[in-house]
Amino acid sequence: MQTAEIRRRWLDYFGDRGHTVVPSASLVSDDPSLLFTVAGMVPFIPYLTGLVPTPYPRATSVQKCIRTNDIEEVGKTPRHGTFFQMNGNFSFGDYFKEEAIGYAWELLTSSEEAGGLAFDPADLWVTVYEEDDEAIALWKKIAGLPDERIQRLGKDTNYWHTGQPGPAGPCSEIFFDRGPAFGADGGPATDDDRYVEIWNLVFMQYQIENVRSKVDFDIVRELPNKNIDTGMGLERVAFLKQGVDNMYEIDQVRPVLDKAAELSGRRYGAVHDDDVRMRVIADHVRSSLMLMSDGVRPSNEGRGYILRRLLRRTVRSMRLLGVEGATFPQLFPESRDAMKSAYPEVETDFDRISRLAYAEEETFLRTLAAGTTILDEAVVTTRASSTGATPRLAGDTAFLLHDTFGFPIDLTLEIAAENGLDVDRSAFDSLMSEQRARAKADAKSRKVALADLSVYSDFRAKGETVFTGYDVLDTPTRVLGIIVDGVSADRAVAGDIAEVILAETSLYAESGGQDADAGTIVGAGFDLEVLDVQKPVKGLISHRVQVRSGEVGVGDSATSVVDPVYRRGATQAHSATHLIHAALREVLGPEAHQAGSYNKAGYMRLDFNWNQALSPATRGEIEEIANNAIRDDLPVVTRELALDEARSMGAMALFGEKYGETVRMVDIGGPWSRELCAGTHVGSSSQVGLINLISETSVGSTNRRVESLVGLDAFREFASERAIVAQLTSSLRAPREQLADRVGDLVANLKSAEKRIAEFERAQLSTRVPALLETATTIGDLTVVAQTVGALRSTDDLRSLVTSVRERLGSHSASVVALAADVSGKPAVIVATTESARGAGARAGQLAKGAAAVLGGGGGGKDDLAQGGGSDVGAIPQALAGIVAALRG
């Protein structure tokens, strides 16, 4: 039975029994605490927890899921996959245990002719929570299961909760017995691969509090409305119904595995390690395909990093199979063809998906070539210098590979392990933390975390917040709720920072790339400054405010007031984003598709799919087209219509965005710019004013970013540049049209002068060599020069001085030269050794590293020449003394 057929039977079965068939949500989860949709019930959590009113009493879905917490197990077990599909049926206070168990047993054991899955009841076992006698009685009544095939297990496996106060309840799981060939007898309690879990039924019936651990919490009451949440693993059922040994061999996955075998010339089933690698490839290609179809792009952060890791592990596995060239152009089409019947978007979007994947592979192959060479050298060096049982690769080496070459730490760990090495992970993590701290040192944000989502449930139950800001800037309304320090409160007083929930609001909440409105909320006796506006849960708008004066209470009448100047600038910027996007596509073609944006009053940035820098001429053309659209005063028309209708009209949707059945479509100049967008916009294009495209940069191997100033900010930037040009024409005594040549001449003269100065300084340096030679001392058989040379312009000068002294000492003598200098306010030390000194045990890299530690920094290098640096110039004498002491030792 094909995977798509199992999926169809599931949806038909529950659809025929009154369940609303809900399409799969995106792999990109709405839950801010999750990177991905990790389980079939995730999209339904707001309904199951009562946070959002349920739109239907019962539902069913086949949900796309991604989990990478067990990524190391992929390929090694029959059931671990990073992408999987979870069939679910849900009841929101409608039916409970008896119906849920009855549905599960009927669908599993009914004949294929009757629309069932035709499992033999004799092969099925169930587990229940050890105290759930009700479930046991129902399994005996409905399924006729004997006692020996119903096993009681504890809270660690058969009790569900979110880890937070809220709904919870016992679970009952259904297992398929694969037979004695796959393991020991004894049922699911043996935790053996012989027994495969195929269905989990969660009976959500209690309210819990004081959650101390997975198994330690307080049950405070029964829920007034008991819920059902079930999940059947589609891939697990597929491999059982298709008679294969694991999920990697089912019809939706096996084609990629076979292609990997073909490309490598190795036979699947011949060598265990090769089999694992082929399964990893098959799993990761499919997961990557599905992630990119939902708008995720490779990057170094968050979801993009997970995707990048999957892609790079695929490349690495192919290399371990002996294939060193690009393989994605062969692998990804296989996965597309296997998945397109269930998810047509992987075919319609394949041009975009394949561009991302192929470019990522090309980039990583170059990374591998550079990084592997360095890592191989480090492995050899580590082994040679190690005295422990397990050699340990230095953390700074792993960090260099990551920071300079883009070599992911997990790949370094894998390669090190293959070579019998550990990695100093704590040192690596420390260096990464320091880097993040530096990156964030200057970053300031007015965003503050919203309250725990559970606090919004009562407010959301009163209905959706009505947004009026498309039509008016001021809206009379009522205060529905106040949150102070994450807790619902009756009022907030002057000086408080609080969240305010209104029945209606004209203030735009940050979304779709547009920043939140600036403004106020006022009423009789209070004045609130709006600091931020967000949508913490679907359908609810929360205003983060500071109470400037007075006291505001729940139930008070209020008016939301948008700052008109800010809103005007925000609408200009958002419409400018659409104009730039249309201009990009006109110049570069339809593949230059938006991949993210941000706009606020006076400024916009737009990321788009493209893999090379734009020439100045192309940038100028895009800017001119956008400004011509402003000049032409194109009409801006917004309409609300059905999603399918908007798409049939050619409306562009942003990959990764989520759209409801009814959408808002924004036209600028008719079909020239037609996008789905919930932001605020100008009435006609001329109101944008002016666009000044100020930069175009890379934000990844397949994405570029343009930034523009808009409206008055754009004019001010042009005025500033005009003032600079006027100043230069005056200072250089040259007309504007000759400025470029005049500046070019000055730069050329400056470089020539700098070259002459450098030659003079090098000549001066050589005169210092005799004096340094006179400081030479003898330590055992070594001749040692260890001196500070004061301030120098560069480490190149210091290196030149060190090597000159070493040459004068003679290559046949056992000599060590260690010189330190103040280079632009930072200490630097360089150590050089002769061959005879190295034969006596003197290693420049070790000496420089020890000196750098004294200087408050890091260092190292080869045995013959190495350098270090730091932050404490005053520690130079101690650093040199440390080198001398090390040589004496």
| Nearest residue to 708 (alpha-carbon basis) of 617, 575, 595 | 575
Which residue type, as a one-letter code, is found at position 865?
Answer: L
Side-chain-side CA neighbours of residue 875 (13 Å)? 20
Q: State the sign of the Cα–Cα–Cα–Cα dihedral 244, 247, 253, 256.
A: negative
Element housing 521 (H / E): strand 519-523
Q: Where would I find the beta strands (DSSP E) of 57-154?
A: 58-66, 83-92, 124-129, 150-153
First to last CA, the chain: 74
Q: Is 161 annotated as a binding residue?
A: no
Euclidean distance between CA atoms 708 and 711, whole angstroms: 10
Q: Work out the widest C-alpha separation in the chain, in whole angstroms.
A: 101
Phi then psi dihedrals of residue 221, to 5 deg: -170, 165
CA 387-391-396 angle, 5° bins: 110
Residue 581 annotated as part of some ligand binding site: no
CA-CA distance, 226 to 248, in Å (whole number)? Answer: 37
Distance CA 109, CA 362 (A): 49
Query: Which has the closest alpha carbon to 24: 39, 9, 3?
Result: 39
Q: How far, in Å, are 40, 127, 366, 565 from residue 198 at the CA level?
A: 14, 12, 42, 58
CB 781 within 8 A of CB 840: yes
State the residue for tokens 């009681």.
152
Q: What phi-psi label fits residue 460: left (phi over 0), alpha (psi between -120 and 50 degrees) or beta? A: alpha
Structure tokens at 77: 């077990």
Is 574 marked within a binding site?
yes
Q: By three-state DSSP, how is residue 518 classified?
A: coil
Q: State the angle between helix axes of 395-405 and 350-385 in degrees (0 to 180), rounded to the nearest 10.
A: 150
Q: Are 331 and 259 in contact (CB under 8 A)?
A: yes
Beta partners for residue 151, in sequence order? 127
Question: Is 578 a known ligand-binding residue?
Answer: yes
The radius of gyration computed from the CA coordinates of the chain, to the nearest angstrom, equals: 33
How far apart (Å, rounded) are the C-alpha atoms in residues 350 and 337?
A: 10
Q: How far is residue 61 from each of residues 23, 38, 45, 199, 701, measured CA to CA in Å?
A: 6, 14, 14, 14, 36
Residues 6+ apart with CB under 8 A from 526: 547, 549, 550, 551, 552, 556, 558
Range list of β-strands (E), 749-862: 777-779, 782-792, 815-823, 826-833, 859-861
Annotated binding-site ranges for Zn(2+)? 574, 578, 677, 681
Annotated binding-site ranges? 574, 578, 677, 681
